[in-house]
Amino acid sequence: MILPIILYKNKILRKKNKNIRLKKNLNKIIKNMFETMYYYKGIGLSAPQIGKNINLFIISINNKKMIFINSKIIKYSKKKIISNEGCLSIPNFYANIKRNKLIKVEYYDNKWEKHNKIFKNNLSIIYQHEYDHIKGKLIIDYLN
């Protein structure tokens, strides 16, 4: 089911999001999130963007679907890269954002298996963008 996207003026996007109870079945919401993201031609979508204040987001790049539950960044590299980013919650707006080139993350997948991974370059950028949503932050917050 395609869900409406919450737009940037909505206070839901500014809230800190709660971790999800372990072993909770999230298959339906995750399926709906992927359908919604593909419909709006996105590469990532966070739960707050569909009105759910929980620590959940998805990414799809190179035909690979990734699900991040109760995610957190453990370590950031000092080296930065600049990326031109858009956001489904801020239609038709793009900005150059400085992000960490490499990050180490910890998260659960939809089978509740825990992962520790290092992401770099594009995946690091996309992850950080979606992770910002979990923290109540938007790309416009990076602008002067």
Structure tokens at 88: 């489904």
Q: Do the beta carbons of residue 90 and residue 110 sit within 8 Å? A: no
pLDDT of residue 24: 85
- Interval 49-74 mean pLDDT: 97
Half-sphere exposure of 63 (CA within 13 A, CB side): 0
Q: Given a cut of 90, is residue 22 above it in pLDDT?
A: no
- Annotated catalytic residues are 130
Domain assignments of the chain as residue spans, ordered by start: 11-142
What's the CATH number of domain 11-142, 3.40.50.1370, 2.40.160.50, 3.30.470.10, 3.90.45.10?
3.90.45.10
| pTM metric for this prediction | 0.95
